[in-house]
Structure 1
Amino acid sequence: MRYEHPIGRPGRRVGLLGGSFDPAHEGHAHITREALKRFDLHEVWWLVSPGNPLKENGPRPMEARLARARAVMQHPRVTITDIEARLGTRYTAETLGALFHLYPQVHFLWLMGADNLAQFHRWENWDWIMEAVPVGVIARPGERAAARASPAAQVYRNRRVPGHQARRIMQLDPPAWTLINVPMRAHSSSEIRARGEWGD
C-alpha cells in the first residue's frame, strides 16, 4: 500500500474518501469495502486532511493519523495519502481541482456520509463539486430521509441515481449522485476519543 502521492492509472475508477480520520476506525474500513463493491470502483483513496475548516479544534498530528489509518485499513485496492497537505489545499473543491490536473485520465467519485450531505451546502463551492464529480452518499439505516431533505439534495434532486443502480454512477456525467444504505459498524471517531482509546 502507498501512503503518499497515489499512483493514478488512466481509466481507473477511484473513490475519494476525505476526512480528518481522527482516529481512523473499522467503520471507515467497512464503508470503504462497501464502496468498492457498490459503486464498482477499482480503488479508494483515503484523503487524510490537514484539518476540517468546519471544525473548531484541529486534529492530532498528521503522522499519527496516517499511522493509525494504515493499521486499520489494510487492503490492496486502498491508498492512504496525505496529498492534501502536500498540495496545500484546504477545501474539497481546491483538492478536486488539483487532482483533476494531476490525474486527468482518472475517473473520480467523491464519497461522503449522509451526515455530510446534510451540511454539504455549507462547504466552500459545494455546487461546483456537484457539477464537477459524481457523488456517492453512504447512509446508515434511518439517515436517508434527512439526507434527501438536505438543501444540496433538493437542488440536485433530478440528478439522483436510484440506490439499486449505484454501479452506474461512474458512467454518468456530473451532476450525478446516489444514496445507498449500508449497515454500519458501531464505531465513531468521537466515541473513540471520548473513551480515551486514541491517546495524545
Structure 2
Amino acid sequence: MPHVEPGMSVGLFGGSFNPPHDGHLLVTELATRRLQLNQIWWMVTPGNPLKDTAALPPLADRIAWSEAINSNPRVKVTAFEASHDVRFTSETLALVRRYNPGVRFVWIMGADNLADFHRWQNWRDIVQAFPIAVIDRPGATLSYLSSKMAKTFDYARLDEGDAALLSFLEPPVWTFLHGPRSPVSSTAIRDGLHKP
C-alpha cells in the first residue's frame, strides 16, 4: 500500500483499468479537488467478481498503463489486492482500514457503478464503513435517484456543496458530484470506438 500519515484524506478508486483513459483522469481530478484529498489511490484490481475477466490483460500491464497515463503526484497506483489475495471490495476496505489507522478514507466510484452497487458482496457494510463519493458519468446522471443504494441510504446523502467535509464525517454518508464528464469508457476503447 502507498505510504500515508494519520490525518490525511485519501480517495480509494478501484477498477480493472483495462485500459486507463482520460475519463479516469477526469474522475481523479474532480474527486481530488472537490473532496480536498491528499492522495488518491488507483487500486488496479486482479479481477471483478461481477464481470468476465477471462480476457483481462495481465495485472502488470494494467499497472504500467496506469502509471504511464498519470502525471499527478497525488495519484498512487497500487495493486495490493493481488498480494493480499482479497476478492471483494468489502475485504479490501477492511484491509485498508486495518493497516492505516487514523487516515480518513473515501471510497470513489463512478455513477455507472451505482446501479449495480447492491449486487456487490456486503454492499451495505461498505456504505456503513466508508464515506462514498459517486462521480457523475454520461448516461448515469440520474442513478442517484433510482439505485437501490441511493434509495436505501437517502437519509445519508451529503449535499455536494459540502463535499470537502466528506472525509471528516462518520459513515454512512455519501455524496454525488457533478462536473465535466468524459464519454470515453474502457469498454468503448476495447471495442475500438474511442482512443485511450
What TM-score, normalized by structure 1, do the two folds share?
Answer: 0.92
The amino acid across from 1:45 in the alignment is W
User: Contact 2:112–2:137 (CA<8 Å) still a contact in 1?
Assistant: no
Query: Given residue 179 of structure 1, which amino acid in structure 2 is its aligned partner?
Result: F
Q: Identify the residue that residue 30 of structure 1 maps to in structure 2.
A: 26
Aligned to 2:110: 113
- 8 Å contact 1:141–1:182 — kept in the other structure? no
Deviation at 1:115, TM superposition (A): 1.2
> How far is the alpha carbon of 1:32 from its aligned partner?
0.3
Counterpart residue identity of residue 78, structure 1: V
Tell me if 1:55 matches 2:15: no
Task: Identify the range of structure 1 (53-62 vs 89-98) with the bigger mean alpha-carbon deviation.
Answer: 53-62
Q: Is the contact made by 2:46 and 2:82 (CA closer than 8 Å) also made in structure 1?
A: yes
Unaligned runs of 5+ in 1: none
- Once the two structures are overlaid, the 10-residue window that deviates more, 88-97 or 133-142, is 133-142
Q: RMSD of aligned C-alpha atoms?
A: 1.6
Question: Pick from 6, 9, 31: which aligns with 1:13?
Answer: 9
The 8 Å contact of residues 112 and 139 in structure 2, kept in 1 or not, is answered as no
Say whether residues 1:39 and 2:30 are aligned partners.
no
Q: Which runs of 4+ in 1 moved over 2 A?
A: 140-144
Give the aligned residue type for 2:2: P
The answer on 1:187 being equivalent to 2:184 is yes
Q: Which residue of 1 aligns with 2:71?
A: 74
The CA deviation at 1:62 is: 0.4
Q: More displaced, 137-146 or 87-96?
A: 137-146
Quote the offset at 1:147 in angstroms: 2.7
| Matched length | 194
Find out whether 1:86 has 2:83 as its counterpart: yes
CA distance in 2, matches of 1:36, 1:90: 26
- How far residue 185 of structure 1 moved from its aligned partner, in angstroms, is 2.3
Fraction of identical pairs, as percent: 42
Note the C-alpha offset of 1:191: 1.3
Report how far residue 143 of structure 1 moved: 2.5
1:182 CA displacement: 2.0
Unaligned runs of 5+ in 2: none
Distance 1:166 1:19 in 2: 22
Residues 81-160 of structure 1 mapped to structure 2, 5 A cutoff: 81-140=78-137, 143-160=140-157
Alignment partners' CA distance in 2, 1:154 and 1:124: 18
Partner-residue secondary structure (3-state), 2:12: strand
Once the two structures are superposed, what CA deviation does each residue of 1:141-194 show, in whole Å capped at 9, x if it has no partner?
A: 663323321111111000000112111111210000000112212321111111
Q: Which amino acid in the other structure matches residue 85 of structure 2?
A: G
Residue 173 of structure 1, aligned match among 164, 170, 185 = 170
